Structure 1
Amino acid sequence: MSTNNAENITIWRLTDGKPGHQSQSLGLVNALKRKMPCESFDIPVSGRLQPVFDLLSTTWPAGQGLPLPDLIVGAGHRTHLHMLAAKKVYGGQTIVLMQPSLPVSFFDLSLIPEHDYYQGGGNVLETRGVLNPIHAAGET
């Protein structure tokens, strides 16, 4: 990992503005924060063509000025190309929170709900339902 501070994990959470997707990625980030020291940055993304240009030109302006990411988290199809562009430019590991529209092998980890019945390869963890930011009583 490319941790800037040896004690903190830096997480970039890419958001597409859709409440359900934001809830899922926030759920993962909050769970990680309960388990280890983390610093997270929310990065709104939009558009379908701009991340293609960013990938081709090896630029991703949305990450400028931020600490280098250890993890790049996203939910929603519009975050996928942005995640790949961010990783190409700044490094880090990508975690996609759904069955992606791109090949699963493009991402470092895919958390796919069991109700999607994913049968392919790649680094996949099957979840029961979708992640959310609700913290159950008694959970650590």
Structure 2
Amino acid sequence: MDLTSDSASSLRIRVVSDGRAGIQNQALGLAEAVQRLRPADIEICRIGWGSAFDKWPSALKQPWMRDPESDPVLPSDGAPWPDIWIATGRASLPLSSRAVTAGPGRPFVVQTQDPRWRTDRFDLVVAPEHDGLSGANVVSILGSPHRITPVRIADAVAAFSDRLDPLPRPRVAVLVGGRSASHDLPPDHAARLADQIAGAVRAVGGSVMVTLSRRTPPEAEAILRERLAVVPGWIWDGQGDNPYFAFLGAADHVLVTEDSANMAAEAASTGRPVHLLRMVARKSQPKFDRLREALVTRGLARPFDGTLDFPATPRVPLAETDRAARLLLARYDAFRA
């Protein structure tokens, strides 16, 4: 359990997730956006379920079924609830449901993503618009909540300046996902992407800043590392502090694989030109198609065509997390009134 404290706090926010970065950062990013608007303490709680119960339906799970290593997210007898509870992911749903029915003194319960379970019972659901979710308690945003802010990425660039400053411009951040239920990155496709990226960067005399995912297949990772090593740059090896925020801050262009709504929204929030890298579809993917179309329609992104050409029209950085935070506080104030 971690605590981000604001000494002048008037709000207590509890962030609940299974602790995986891509999941936790949605709830934490929204909490931090609220904290930028109103003083608050943020408590980060990581939870999991015992192996015998993990696959059980959310409606059947009980608190005693949690993994012993889970943080104590439910208050003990007599202890107060937080003011606001922000949770993300399937693992959090049974506990969010318990929080919203806790009676007097309960928190204002916010669930990000499409819960796919009892959506109308939460006080607020902040869901990607490409999920097509609707309801009186639903706020739809383009992409997902995240932690990217101009200050955070600028600070990250300064922290890694010894590695980033020597890289020739234009600097191209390459954010690579991997195999998922909807997409794959087989070796032959990884080779084509790597060659196209290297060619585009070489053509403008630039450099790459590459970060890979735990989902990146090992064969694809090896190919990307080998074939992108022919141009100047930094291909992060996964050791030491993660330069992901720094890469976004230092980039003149961002190339991101289409399999991650999180990475696409984070890239678009920087205001840099975003190029979407095609993956191999494993099944029909209407949600990702809708996200891609929305980013392109708003002038925030374009499909990567083997060049770094991008329309010269001004781009307004995507700021959906901040918009969601403003709406959250308005709903919270009404809840407490």
Instruction: Provide the residue aligned with 1:53 in structure 2.
Output: 62
**Equivalences for 1:26-105 in 2 at 5 Å?**
26-47=28-49, 48=54, 52-54=61-63, 62-64=73-75, 67-89=80-102, 91-105=106-120
Say whether the 8 Å CA contact 1:54–1:85 is kept in structure 2: no
What is the CA distance between 1:69 and its match in structure 2?
1.1
Q: 1:34 to 1:134 in 2, by over 3 A?
A: same
Higher RCO, 1 or 2 (CA under 8 Å, sep at least 6)? 1
Say whether the 8 Å CA contact 2:24–2:88 is kept in structure 1: yes
How many Å separate the matches in 2 of 1:67 and 1:99?
28
Q: 1:42 to 1:22 in 2, by over 3 A?
A: same
How many Å separate the matches in 2 of 1:131 and 1:102?
20
Q: In the alignment, residue 87 of structure 2 is paired with which amino acid?
A: G
Q: In the alignment, residue 94 of structure 1 is paired with which amino acid?
A: V
**Aligned with 2:122 (options 93, 107, 117):** 107
Structure 2: state its 5+ residue gaps. 1-8, 65-71, 152-318, 323-337
TM-score (norm 1): 0.77
| Segments of 4+ moved more than 2 angstroms | 48-55, 61-68, 86-90
Instruction: Provide the residue aligned with 2:137 in structure 1.
Output: 123
TM-score (norm 2): 0.34
What is the CA distance between 1:80 and its match in structure 2?
1.0
Q: In the alignment, residue 61 of structure 2 is paired with which amino acid?
A: V
SS of residue matched to 1:33: helix
SS of residue matched to 2:62: helix
Q: Does 1:132 align with 2:146?
A: yes
Q: In the alignment, residue 77 of structure 1 is paired with which amino acid?
A: R
User: Residues 44-100 of structure 1: CA distance to partner in whole angstroms, max 9, x if unpaired?
Assistant: 111146983249xxxxx5333665211111111111111122343461111011111
User: Residues 3-50 of structure 1: CA distance to partner in whole angstroms, max 9, x if unpaired?
Assistant: xxxx61111111212211111111101101100011111111111469
Q: Which moved more, 1:87-96 or 1:10-19?
A: 87-96
SS of residue matched to 2:42: strand
How many Å separate the matches in 2 of 1:9 and 1:30?
12
SS of residue matched to 1:73: strand
Instruction: Provide the residue aligned with 2:196 in structure 1.
Output: none
Q: Which moved more, 1:40-49 or 1:73-82?
A: 40-49
SS of residue matched to 2:127: strand
RMSD: 2.9
Q: How many residues align?
A: 129
SS of residue matched to 1:63: coil
SS of residue matched to 2:130: helix
Q: Does 1:19 align with 2:32?
A: no
Q: In the alignment, residue 46 of structure 1 is paired with which amino acid?
A: G
Say whether the 8 Å CA contact 2:16–2:73 is kept in structure 1: no
How many Å separate the matches in 1 of 2:43 and 2:101?
18
Q: In the alignment, residue 138 of structure 2 is paired with which amino acid?
A: V
What is the CA distance between 1:104 and its match in structure 2?
1.2
Specify the structure having the higher radius of gyration (Cα).
2
